[in-house]
């Protein structure tokens, strides 16, 4: 009788076999791609060989597969221990939160003492951690968002990134209604973003109405398009729904590209009226914002204003979503995701439920689009391509479908890493891919893999992800 | 109105391509009764259910439901959710279709969707938290609480439906159906997988539904103990046709039914063999 | 005193952090019919799934035909001539009845497909009638029959049946249990079954175990358990 634990030697043997096969496959694939190089720079076309590169590539595949195979053999045990360590760390963090906060406070004081000019940043950091400990992660995020411009006032670059991040958070929250709550796989969300942006631009340019008037109109147009998309896809499921929504996104983009008389085609629409502080423009003149409020003119004023506008819009999206979840329509969305047949058997009209999800999700996309137009001052069909839709969907899925906090974290991670890894031009995609694999192994159902119930009799117990359906449309 | 049947099927036929699943079926279910639909596997029982509840559109024939106020509905023309919404016909499923990721309470609140939608002004009032909507929500939770208590699920009200043990899930599905205030409750094998004690509890629950609510019950079941104990009337199907109907005692002893479905009691076989050998 | 065909010692299994099995000891001798009865949620199906490797037992050992299968992946375990008719039937809905049975025979070595097929059809004639129909179009009870038939096609040494009578008409239930008895008597097929229908199961089985909350509460021969008052009151409803 063999031992109860998988013998290490058998794990090694298996891993060696896997690595060997992988190495052979790699050799077959790489021999032409890497092993040989065509060169026509100096004279006629000739073939150079790169045996060292080929050997190293095959070697890396061999070694990597070997390591992965050994790890995989102990996957179950590894997962168990990792989960145990993670829960211990979280438990310790929660248990010792006040001592940890005190330590952080001491470090902060020391830092300010030695580098007084960093006091806004340090103060904000400490305050955030305090709020997180006392009131929870969501409250901390909110406070951080509100105080962000204060902390980074002299860094318009970071403010710019923050505005982008908030835009994607809003888009993520909007798509979350369709994909996360209702379980409808929408791959063409960027269409509503585009409709919002273009309708804002055209209305603002043609009629000259202020941002706050054009914004609801842009949302209305986008919602209309949401219903337009909803009708033909009502009976589609899963993959078919995804493909048709993808096509819809492309159709909108191509129409925008070709309807030159209306949308100016590939040249886009420029000189979109910039945002003003409720009528007061952000210019250097005497009627400008700075003069009116007795401040020295600073182009950052507009950026800060835009920051708070997008923050308000995002918070509106969040508030509406949270409210809707507790209302019958929101529950119907989540029930639809779980089991459409059961929903029908309870007398709920699935058509209306799906259309409502599309329309409301689209509306928030439209708002985000209008904001985008006014911030950039210029829009063109190039900004509304399929990779944008895919990115927003990735944010929703990464966040953990249905979870507001998860989507926000995911949007920040994705946006921030895009910017921060700009330096690593070549390797940015490799890092991105690696990150995706890690997430898929560690958190296959998204970062925040729990669901909060919307009503409770005695106590609110969060539901772990294994019970929650993924939604097939 | 108590004389008229709640449900009446007439010459119902269901064809799937070349396959004749239901063949010219007619029967009635009396108001306030518990009517059982039994028969061998593949006889077409669930197909009948799917026709009644609108998941299939019958090839021909009619299905009529007459409410207490006299209003008659022709179900063969209505889509599934309209039958549940307008006629108040509720059903459970053979394979249990709960909203697994939602709590037991939430499942019961979803069932009250239509009422709550109206009271929330189609979401608008609800969004701003008007007192009218808030009281409607409280009432809905009370109704849910009532049915959770009736099905002994109060302790698990806040647990996700998917984590409940099998017997509890079956009871929750019935509770959810009852939260739609149905006039006709269609149960598809409610006792499947229940041990004898749980079956007894099911019998008690169904009897209390029959006596305390206006609902009439139509059920498909293989567990003869349940069928014999609580049905007022039994209809037997085989190969899509009705082969017997009557009181449980009558059907129990009908030769056609024994041959096609019940089989002879093993004790009776042993006894007969003993007699032959003697 | 022969070696047990299947020997489960001190097995504990978890779903996440919840213990579903807490130190189970079960033995199945070759040629026996052993049954596990118990309330819903007691862990009977979990035990069956743990034997097949999903979830894997975190503690204890499972030995089949002298080989330790506790940590083997499921596909390897099934290749060792263990066949299962799982909870929830799990037939292939888009494949025909015939194709489902073909899939079952995939791991049958040295078997005669035609005669195995004939045997399944004689047990469940309705499957022969519906042999070119898609599995998903069968009624619930017919799917149950198909699931059992598919398990039989692989010519197993050990047949695991999870609630074989679920959703079946009384006549068919009798047929199945008769068929199980025949398979056991004529071909010495060892059968391990989980059943809600305690009466039929205990009448049929040589030995039985009663499971309560993830532990074995009682063990004995079928007859012994049938007579025990605790078993009668909890699972047999006063001996129906």
Collect all residues with Cβ–Cβ distance below 8 Å to B24 and sequence separation of at least 6: B11, B12, B13, B61, B241
List of chain A residues whose C-beta atoms are within 8 Å of the C-beta of residue C64: none
Does residue A92 sit within a domain? Answer: no
d(CA A314, CA A322): 12
C79–chain B Cβ distance below 8 A for any pair: no
Does residue B18 sit within a domain? Answer: yes
A113–chain B Cβ distance below 8 A for any pair: no
Model confidence at B48: pLDDT above 90: yes
Which one of B167, B196, B263 has the shortest CB-CB distance to C171? B263
Please indicate, yes or no, whether residues B237 and B274 belong to a single structural domain of this protein.
yes
Please indicate, yes or no, whether residues B188 and B176 belong to a single structural domain of this protein.
no
Helices A404-420 and A156-175 meet at what angle, rounded to 10? 140
Which one of C16, C56, C63 has the shortest CB-CB distance to A1? C63
Please indicate, yes or no, whether residues A305 and A344 belong to a single structural domain of this protein.
yes
Which one of C139, C174, C236 has the shortest CB-CB distance to B41? C139
Percent of residues, chain A, with pLDDT higher than 70: 97
**Distance between A3 CA and the closest CA of chain C, angstroms:** 8
What pLDDT, on the 0 to 100 scale, is given for residue C238? 40
* Mean pLDDT, chain B, integer: 88
How far is CA A197 from each of CA A269, B65, B254, rounded to the nearest angstrom?
A: 10, 52, 74
Model confidence at A373: pLDDT above 90: yes
Please indicate, yes or no, whether residues B187 and B277 belong to a single structural domain of this protein.
yes
Domain final residue pick, B125, B154, B180? B180
Please indicate, yes or no, whether residues A136 and A179 belong to a single structural domain of this protein.
no
* Mean pLDDT, chain C, integer: 85
The region of weakest confidence among A22-31, A194-203, B201-210, C224-233 is C224-233
Structure confidence at residue B41 as a pLDDT band (50, 70, 90): confident
Please indicate, yes or no, whether residues B273 and B243 belong to a single structural domain of this protein.
yes
d(CA B171, CA B148): 9
Condensed to tens digits (0 to 9), the pLDDT of residues A273-304 reads: 887 777 777 776 777 777 777 777 777 888 88
Number of structural domains found in chain B: 2
**Distance between C60 CA and the closest CA of chain A, angstroms:** 8
Condensed to tens digits (0 to 9), the pLDDT of residues C106-132 reads: 887 766 888 889 988 988 888 998 999
Number of structural domains found in chain A: 3
Please indicate, yes or no, whether residues B157 and B209 belong to a single structural domain of this protein.
no
Over range B232-244, report the average pLDDT: 92
Which residues 219-278 of B have a C-beta within 8 angstroms of A?
none
Does residue A28 sit within a domain? Answer: yes
Interface size, chain A vs chain B, as Cβ–Cβ contacts under 8 Å: 138
Collect all residues with Cβ–Cβ distance below 8 Å to B158 and sequence separation of at least 6: A453, A456, A457, A458, A459, A460, A461, B103, B104, B105
Does residue B4 sit within a domain? Answer: yes
Cβ distance A461 to B158 less than 8 Å, yes or no, reads: yes
User: Which range marks the domain in which residue A62 is found?
Assistant: 8-86
Please indicate, yes or no, whether residues B190 and B172 belong to a single structural domain of this protein.
no
**Distance between B274 CA and the closest CA of chain A, angstroms:** 50
List of chain B residues whose C-beta atoms are within 8 Å of the C-beta of residue A341: 55, 93, 97
A1–chain C Cβ distance below 8 A for any pair: yes
Structure confidence at residue A472 as a pLDDT band (50, 70, 90): low
Structure confidence at residue C239 as a pLDDT band (50, 70, 90): very low
A464–chain C Cβ distance below 8 A for any pair: yes
What pLDDT, on the 0 to 100 scale, is given for residue A251? 94
Please indicate, yes or no, whether residues A53 and A183 belong to a single structural domain of this protein.
no
Cβ distance A2 to C56 less than 8 Å, yes or no, reads: no
Cβ distance C168 to B41 less than 8 Å, yes or no, reads: yes
Model confidence at A341: pLDDT above 50: yes
Over range A462-469, report the average pLDDT: 77
Q: Which two tokens stand for residue B79?
A: 């889509």
The region of weakest confidence among A56-65, A80-89, A345-354 is A80-89
Question: Of A3-7, A278-282, A454-458, B98-102, where does the model show the most confidence?
Answer: B98-102
A235–chain B Cβ distance below 8 A for any pair: no
CATH code for the domain of B214: 3.40.50.300
DSSP assignment of chain C, as one string?
-PPPSEEEEEEEEEETTEEEEEEEEEEE-TT-EEEEEE-TTSSHHHHHHHHTTSSPPSEEEEEETTEE-TTS-HHHHHTTTEEEE-TT----TTSBHHHHHHHHGGG--S--HHHHHHHHHHH-HHHHHTTTSBGGGS-HHHHHHHHHHHHHTT--SEEEEESTTTT--HHHHHHHHHHHHHHHHHH--EEEEE-S-HHHHHHH-SEEEEEETTEEEEEEEHHHHHH-HHHIIIIITTT-
Q: What value of ipTM does the predicted structure carry?
A: 0.89
Helices A156-175 and A350-376 meet at what angle, rounded to 10? 170
Cβ distance C71 to A466 less than 8 Å, yes or no, reads: no
d(CA A349, CA B84): 10
Neighbours of A426 (CB within 10 A): 6
Please indicate, yes or no, whether residues B208 and B240 belong to a single structural domain of this protein.
yes
d(CA A447, CA A436): 12
Compare all CA atoms of chain C with the CA of A3 and give the residue at the minimum distance. Answer: C68
Model confidence at A332: pLDDT above 70: yes
C139–chain B Cβ distance below 8 A for any pair: yes
Collect all residues with Cβ–Cβ distance below 8 Å to B160 and sequence separation of at least 6: A463, A464, A467, A468, B100, B101, B102, B103
Query: Of the candidates B28, B3, B41, B34, which has an alpha carbon nearest to the alpha carbon of residue B245?
Result: B28
- C131, C170, C230: which to substitute to probe chain B, counting the most B Cβ within 10 Å? C170
Please indicate, yes or no, whether residues B238 and B151 belong to a single structural domain of this protein.
no
Percent of residues, chain A, with pLDDT higher than 90: 36
Model confidence at A21: pLDDT above 80: yes
Cβ distance C140 to B225 less than 8 Å, yes or no, reads: no
Collect all residues with Cβ–Cβ distance below 8 Å to B146 and sequence separation of at least 6: none
Compare all CA atoms of chain C with the CA of A465 and give the residue at the minimum distance. Answer: C16
Please indicate, yes or no, whether residues A172 and A307 belong to a single structural domain of this protein.
yes
Please indicate, yes or no, whether residues A61 and A114 belong to a single structural domain of this protein.
no
What pLDDT, on the 0 to 100 scale, is given for residue A1? 35
A435–chain C Cβ distance below 8 A for any pair: no
Does residue A365 sit within a domain? Answer: yes
Over range A308-325, report the average pLDDT: 92
Does residue A169 sit within a domain? Answer: yes
Whether the bond into A278 is cis, omega within 30 of 0: no
Compare all CA atoms of chain B with the CA of A460 and give the residue at the minimum distance. Answer: B158
Compare all CA atoms of chain C with the CA of A2 and give the residue at the minimum distance. Answer: C68
Cα torsion A278, A283, A289, A292 to 10°: value is: -130
Please indicate, yes or no, whether residues A127 and A256 belong to a single structural domain of this protein.
no
Please indicate, yes or no, whether residues A77 and A106 belong to a single structural domain of this protein.
no
Domain final residue pick, B180, B207, B230? B180
B75–chain A Cβ distance below 8 A for any pair: no
**Distance between A212 CA and the closest CA of chain B, angstroms:** 22
Over range B218-237, report the average pLDDT: 91
Model confidence at B246: pLDDT above 90: yes
**Tokens 């106020």 found at:** B69
User: Which range marks the domain in which residue B156 is found?
Assistant: 99-180
Query: Of the candidates B221, B195, C239, B53, which has an alpha carbon nearest to the alpha carbon of residue B206?
Result: B221
d(CA A335, CA A325): 11
- N- to C-terminal Cα distance for chain A? 50
Please indicate, yes or no, whether residues A64 and A106 belong to a single structural domain of this protein.
no
Does residue A262 sit within a domain? Answer: yes
Query: Of the candidates B114, C174, B214, B170, which has an alpha carbon nearest to the alpha carbon of residue A346?
Result: B114
Q: Which two tokens stand for residue B150?
A: 């009736």
Strand partners, A161: none
Is the model more confident about A82 or about B236? B236
Domain final residue pick, B145, B180, B215? B180
Structure confidence at residue B265 as a pLDDT band (50, 70, 90): low
DSSP assignment of C136-168, as one string?
GGS-HHHHHHHHHHHHHTT--SEEEEESTTTT-
- B78, B102, B125: which to substitute to probe chain A, counting the most A Cβ within 10 Å? B102
Question: Of A275-289, A375-389, A448-462, where does the model show the most confidence?
Answer: A375-389
Over range B46-68, report the average pLDDT: 92
List of chain A residues whose C-beta atoms are within 8 Å of the C-beta of residue C67: 1-2
Q: Which two tokens stand for residue B207?
A: 């009897």
Collect all residues with Cβ–Cβ distance below 8 Å to B77 and sequence separation of at least 6: none
- A1, A3, A4, A463: which to substitute to probe chain C, counting the most C Cβ within 10 Å? A4
The whole-model pTM stands at 0.83
The region of weakest confidence among A157-171, A284-298, C74-88 is A284-298
- C40, C44, C168: which to substitute to probe chain B, counting the most B Cβ within 10 Å? C40
Query: Of the candidates A175, A473, A187, A180, which has an alpha carbon nearest to the alpha carbon of residue A339?
Result: A473
What pLDDT, on the 0 to 100 scale, is given for residue A403? 86
Please indicate, yes or no, whether residues B62 and B125 belong to a single structural domain of this protein.
no
A2–chain C Cβ distance below 8 A for any pair: yes
**φ and ψ of A406, to 5 deg:** -60, -45
Please indicate, yes or no, whether residues B113 and B171 belong to a single structural domain of this protein.
yes
Over range A30-39, report the average pLDDT: 85
Which one of A1, A76, A464 has the shortest CB-CB distance to C68? A1
What pLDDT, on the 0 to 100 scale, is given for residue C237? 58
A5–chain C Cβ distance below 8 A for any pair: yes
Please indicate, yes or no, whether residues B169 and B244 belong to a single structural domain of this protein.
no
Does residue B93 sit within a domain? Answer: no
Q: Check if the beta carbon of residue A393 is closer than 8 Å to that of residue A175.
A: yes
Condensed to tens digits (0 to 9), the pLDDT of residues A409-440 reads: 999 988 888 777 777 777 777 777 787 778 87
Q: Check if the beta carbon of residue A316 is closer than 8 Å to that of residue A167.
A: no
**Tokens 């958070």 found at:** A169
How far is CA C172 from each of CA B44, B222, C85, C175, rounded to the nearest angstrom?
A: 16, 10, 16, 5
Please indicate, yes or no, whether residues A161 and A52 belong to a single structural domain of this protein.
no
If you compute the radius of gyration of chain B from its CA atoms, what whole number of angstroms results? 20
Please indicate, yes or no, whether residues A119 and A206 belong to a single structural domain of this protein.
no
Query: Of the candidates A176, A148, A179, which has an alpha carbon nearest to the alpha carbon of residue A164?
Result: A148
Which one of C56, C66, C71 has the shortest CB-CB distance to A1? C66
Structure confidence at residue A76 as a pLDDT band (50, 70, 90): low
Model confidence at C98: pLDDT above 90: yes
- C37, C196, C202: which to substitute to probe chain B, counting the most B Cβ within 10 Å? C196
Structure confidence at residue A227 as a pLDDT band (50, 70, 90): very high
Query: Of the candidates A417, A232, B165, which has an alpha carbon nearest to the alpha carbon of residue C41?
Result: B165
Cβ distance C138 to B39 less than 8 Å, yes or no, reads: no
Over range A35-62, report the average pLDDT: 86
State the DSSP code for A125.
H
Does residue A338 sit within a domain? Answer: yes
Cβ distance A467 to B160 less than 8 Å, yes or no, reads: yes
Cβ-in-10-Å burial (0-12, 13-18, 19+) of B223 comes to buried
How many alpha carbons fall within 13 Å on the CB side of residue B51? 30
A349–chain C Cβ distance below 8 A for any pair: no
Query: Of the candidates C82, C76, C73, which has an alpha carbon nearest to the alpha carbon of residue C5?
Result: C82
Please indicate, yes or no, whether residues B76 and B130 belong to a single structural domain of this protein.
no
Neighbours of B154 (CB within 10 A): 17
A11–chain C Cβ distance below 8 A for any pair: no
Does residue B94 sit within a domain? Answer: no
Neighbours of C13 (CB within 10 A): 23
Please indicate, yes or no, whether residues A318 and A431 belong to a single structural domain of this protein.
yes
List helix spans (H) across A96-210. 97-114, 119-135, 137-151, 156-175, 190-207
**Distance between C67 CA and the closest CA of chain B, angstroms:** 34
Domain final residue pick, A86, A109, A128? A86
Interface residues of C toward A, Cβ cutoff 8 Å, are: 16, 56, 61, 63, 66-68, 70-71
Neighbours of A75 (CB within 10 A): 10
Neighbours of A315 (CB within 10 A): 17
B154–chain A Cβ distance below 8 A for any pair: yes
Cβ distance B81 to A342 less than 8 Å, yes or no, reads: no
Condensed to tens digits (0 to 9), the pLDDT of residues C184-210 reads: 888 888 999 998 778 888 888 999 999
Over range C51-62, report the average pLDDT: 86
Please indicate, yes or no, whether residues A216 and A338 belong to a single structural domain of this protein.
yes
What pLDDT, on the 0 to 100 scale, is given for residue A139? 84
Model confidence at A471: pLDDT above 90: no
The region of weakest confidence among A110-124, A223-237, B21-35, C64-78 is A110-124
d(CA C101, CA C133): 12
Q: Check if the beta carbon of residue A149 is closer than 8 Å to that of residue A438.
A: no
């Amino acid at each position: 009788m063999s031992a109860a634990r998988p013998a290490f030697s058998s794990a090694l043997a298996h891993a060696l076999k896997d690595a060997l096969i992988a190495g052979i496959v790699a050799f077959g694939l790489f021999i032409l791609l890497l092993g040989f190089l065509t060169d026509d720079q100096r004279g006629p076309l000739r073939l150079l060989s790169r045996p060292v590169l080929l050997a190293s590539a095959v070697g890396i595949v061999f070694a990597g597969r070997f390591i992965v195979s050994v790890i995989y053999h102990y996957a179950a045990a590894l997962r168990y221990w990792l989960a145990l360590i993670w829960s211990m760390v979280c438990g310790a963090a929660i248990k010792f939160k006040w001592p940890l906060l005190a330590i952080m406070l001491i470090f902060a004081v020391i830092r300010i003492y030695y580098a007084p000019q960093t006091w806004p940043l340090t103060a904000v950091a400490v305050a955030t951690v305090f709020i997180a400990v006392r009131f929870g992660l969501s409250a901390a995020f909110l406070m951080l968002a509100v105080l962000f411009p204060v902390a980074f006032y002299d860094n318009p670059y970071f403010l710019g990134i923050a505005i982008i991040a908030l835009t994607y958070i809003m888009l993520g929250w909007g798509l979350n209604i369709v994909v996360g709550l209702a379980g409808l796989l929408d791959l063409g969300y960027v269409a509503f973003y585009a409709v919002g942006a273009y309708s804002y631009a055209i209305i603002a340019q043609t009629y000259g109405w202020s941002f706050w008037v054009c914004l609801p109109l842009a949302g209305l147009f986008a919602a209309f398009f949401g219903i337009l998309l909803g009708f033909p896809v009502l009976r589609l499921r899963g993959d078919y729904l995804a493909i048709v929504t993808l096509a819809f996104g492309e159709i909108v983009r191509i129409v925008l590209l070709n309807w030159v008389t209306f949308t100016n085609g590939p040249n886009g629409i420029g000189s979109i009226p910039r945002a003003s502080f409720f009528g007061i423009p952000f210019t250097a003149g005497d009627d400008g914002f700075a003069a009116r409020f007795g401040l020295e003119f600073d182009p950052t004023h507009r950026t800060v204003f835009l920051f708070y506008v997008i923050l308000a819009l995002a918070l509106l999206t969040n508030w509406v979503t949270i409210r809707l979840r507790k209302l019958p329509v929101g529950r119907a969305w989540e029930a639809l995701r779980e089991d459409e047949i059961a929903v029908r058997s309870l007398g709920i009209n699935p058509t209306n439920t799906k259309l409502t999800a599309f329309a409301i999700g689209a509306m928030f996309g439209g708002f985000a689009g209008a904001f985008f137009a006014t911030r950039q001052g210029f829009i063109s069909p190039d900004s509304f391509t399929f990779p944008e839709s895919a990115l927003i969907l990735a944010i929703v899925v990464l966040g953990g479908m249905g979870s507001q906090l998860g989507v926000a974290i995911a949007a920040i991670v994705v946006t921030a890493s895009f910017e921060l890894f700009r330096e690593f031009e070549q390797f940015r995609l490799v890092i991105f891919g690696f990150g995706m694999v890690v997430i898929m192994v560690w958190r296959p159902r998204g970062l925040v893999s729990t669901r909060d119930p919307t009503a409770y009799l005695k106590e609110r117990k969060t539901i772990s992800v294994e019970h929650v359906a993924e939604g097939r449309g | 109105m108590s004389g008229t049947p709640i449900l009446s099927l007439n010459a119902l036929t269901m064809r799937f391509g070349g396959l004749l699943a239901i063949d010219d079926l007619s029967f009635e279910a009396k108001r306030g009764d518990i009517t059982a639909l039994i028969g061998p596997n593949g006889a077409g029982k669930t197909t009948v259910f799917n026709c009644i509840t609108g998941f299939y559109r019958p090839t021909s024939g009619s299905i009529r439901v007459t409410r207490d106020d006299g209003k008659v509905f022709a179900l063969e023309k209505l889509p599934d959710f309209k039958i549940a919404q307008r006629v108040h016909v509720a059903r459970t499923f053979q394979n249990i279709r709960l909203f697994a990721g939602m709590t037991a309470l939430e499942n019961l609140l979803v069932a009250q969707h239509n009422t709550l939608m109206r009271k929330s002004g189609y979401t608008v009032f609800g969004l701003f938290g008007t007192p009218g909507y808030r009281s409607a929500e409280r009432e809905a939770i009370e109704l849910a609480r009532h049915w959770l208590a009736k099905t002994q699920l109060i302790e698990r009200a806040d647990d996700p439906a998917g984590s409940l043990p099998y017997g509890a899930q079956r009871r929750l599905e019935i509770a959810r159906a009852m939260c739609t205030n149905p006039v006709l409750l269609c149960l598809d094998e409610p006792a499947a997988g229940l041990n004898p004690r749980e079956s007894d509890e099911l019998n008690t629950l169904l009897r209390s539904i029959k006596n305390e609510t206006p609902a009439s019950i139509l059920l498909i079941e293989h567990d003869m103990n349940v069928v014999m104990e609580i049905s007022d009337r039994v209809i037997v199907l085989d190969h899509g046709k009705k082969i017997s109907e009557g009181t449980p005692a009558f059907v129990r002893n009908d030769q056609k039914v024994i041959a096609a479905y019940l089989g002879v009691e093993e004790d009776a076989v042993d006894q007969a063999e003993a007699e032959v050998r003697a | 005193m022969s070696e047990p065909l299947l020997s489960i010692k001190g097995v504990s299994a978890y779903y996440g952090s919840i213990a579903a099995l807490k130190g189970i000891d079960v033995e199945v001798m070759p040629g026996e019919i052993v049954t596990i009865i118990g309330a819903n949620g007691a862990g009977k199906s979990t035990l069956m799934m743990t034997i097949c490797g999903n979830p894997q037992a975190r503690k204890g050992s499972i030995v089949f035909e002298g080989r330790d299968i506790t940590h083997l992946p499921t596909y390897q375990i099934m290749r060792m001539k263990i066949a299962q008719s799982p909870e929830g039937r799990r037939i292939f809905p888009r494949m025909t009845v015939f194709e489902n049975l073909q899939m079952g025979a995939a791991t049958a070595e040295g078997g005669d497909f035609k005669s195995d097929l004939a045997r399944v059809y004689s047990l469940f004639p309705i499957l022969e009638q519906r042999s070119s129909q898609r599995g998903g179009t069968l009624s619930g009870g017919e799917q149950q029959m198909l699931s059992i038939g598919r398990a039989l096609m692989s010519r197993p040494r050990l047949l695991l049946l999870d609630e074989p009578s679920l959703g079946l008409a009384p006549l068919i239930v009798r047929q199945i249990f008769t068929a199980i008895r025949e398979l056991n008597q004529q071909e010495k097929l060892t059968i391990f079954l989980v059943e809600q229908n305690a009466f039929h199961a205990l009448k049929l089985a040589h030995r039985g175990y009663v499971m309560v909350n993830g532990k074995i509460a009682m063990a004995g021969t079928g007859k012994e358990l049938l007579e025990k008052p605790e078993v009668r009151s909890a699972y047999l409803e006063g001996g129906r």
